[in-house]
Amino acid sequence: MKIPNPYYISDYKLPLIEYFVFGLSVDCVVFGYHEGEIKVLLIQREAEPYRGHWALIGDLVEPEQNLHDASNNVLEKLTGLKNIFMKQFFTFGSLDRHPLGRVVTVGYFSLVKSISYHPIASSWAKSAEWFNINDLPELAFDHHTILLKGIETLKNEVRHKPIGFELLPSKFTLLDLQLLYEALLGYKFDKSNFRKKILEMNILKPLNEVKDNVSHRPAKLFKFDEKRYRQLEKEGFSFEL
C-alpha cells in the first residue's frame, strides 16, 4: 500500500522528511524447554489484521520507546513474563510483509527458564500457548520466516555463548544440561566427556543440594556462575560446545 501525503517537520523543511512514514514493530521469538523439547510461545491474535491467527509476540513500537524496552514491554503486556533474557537478531523489512502499510519489524529472541506454568494471555492476545518447534500452526504475517531465522540464530549462538542456561531452572543437574544441549544441537554427547568438559570450564557452582524423590541415586544440583563467567571471559576464555 502506497502511503500518500509526506509529513513535514516545519523547522527544517528538508526533502528527507518525506520518508518519515514507516511503521515499526518488534516481534519476539520466545523459546522454552520442557522434557527434551524446544518450545516456542505463540499468541492467538484478537485484533485485525490476521484476527484469530497464531503469531509471534509482537506489537508496534511507540514513538518514545526504544527497541529493547519495546520488546520487553510487549512480552510482559501479552503474556505477563518479566525480566527475560532477550536479544535482537534480525530486522525484516519486505515491502509486503504487513497488509496495512510499510511496517519494518525488529526480531528479538528470548529464552525463558521455566515453561511449567501457563502464560497469561492479555491485551489483544486471545490465548498464549507453547508449541513444539517441529509442530507449528500457520502463522500471521511473515512470522514463519522470522521464527525460522530465530531458530537458526539460537542454534548458532548456543554453541559459542552460555545462553543455554537461560532455558533451565536456576538449579539443575548435569544431565539436565546435557539433555538440553542435545535437544538444541540435535546430537548426543558422551556423558563422561560432557561432564568433564563443562566442569573444567569452571562456570558452574556446585550446590550442596541434590534432586530427590527419584528412585535412583540423586543427582547433585548446580547453578550457572555468571560472575565467574564474566571474569573468565575478560581473561580470554571463550565458551565452546
* Interface residues toward a second copy, by CB under 8 A: 1-3, 5, 7, 9, 12, 14, 16-17, 19-24, 47-48, 60-67, 88, 90-91, 93-95, 100-104, 106
Of 126 and 205, nearer to a second copy (C-beta) is 126
Please state the closest distance from residue 222 (CB atom) to DNA, in A: 9
Of 4 and 212, nearer to a second copy (C-beta) is 4
Q: Does residue 86 contact residue 109 with C-beta atoms inside 8 Å?
A: yes
Using CA atoms, how far apart are residues 117 and 103, in angstroms rounded to an integer?
33
Angle between helix axes 174-185 and 191-200 (nearest 10 degrees) is: 100
The option from DNA, a second copy, none interacting with 190 (CB < 5 to 8 A, set by class) reads DNA
Please state the closest distance from residue 67 (CB atom) to a second copy, in A: 4
Please state the closest distance from residue 216 (CB atom) to DNA, in A: 3
Of 43-51, 83-91, 112-120, 208-216, the window that binds DNA (rule: CB under 7 A) is 208-216
Strand partners, 125: 45
**218 contributes a contact to DNA by CB under 7 A:** yes
**201 contributes a contact to DNA by CB under 7 A:** no
Using CA atoms, how far apart are residues 234 and 125, in angstroms rounded to an integer?
42
Using CA atoms, how far apart are residues 164 and 181, in angstroms rounded to an integer?
7
**215 contributes a contact to DNA by CB under 7 A:** yes
Of 32 and 164, nearer to a second copy (C-beta) is 164
Counting residues that bind DNA (by CB under 7 A) gives: 19
Task: List the x/- string, 147-186, binding to DNA by CB under 7 A.
Answer: --------------------------xxx-----------
Using CA atoms, how far apart are residues 194 and 212, in angstroms rounded to an integer?
23
Q: Does residue 168 contact residue 174 with C-beta atoms inside 8 Å?
A: no
Question: What backbone torsions phi and psi does residue 55 show, to the nearest 5 degrees?
Answer: -155, 165
Q: Which helix (H) or strand (E) covers residue 154, if one does?
A: helix 143-160
Residue 178: left (phi > 0), alpha (psi -120 to 50), or beta? alpha
Find where cell 534480525 sits: 90
Using CA atoms, how far apart are residues 127 and 42, in angstroms rounded to an integer?
8
Task: List the x/- string, 219-238, binding to DNA by CB under 7 A.
Answer: xx------------------
Please state the closest distance from residue 184 (CB atom) to DNA, in A: 16
Site residues (vs DNA, CB under 7 A): 173-175, 190-193, 195-197, 210, 212, 214-220
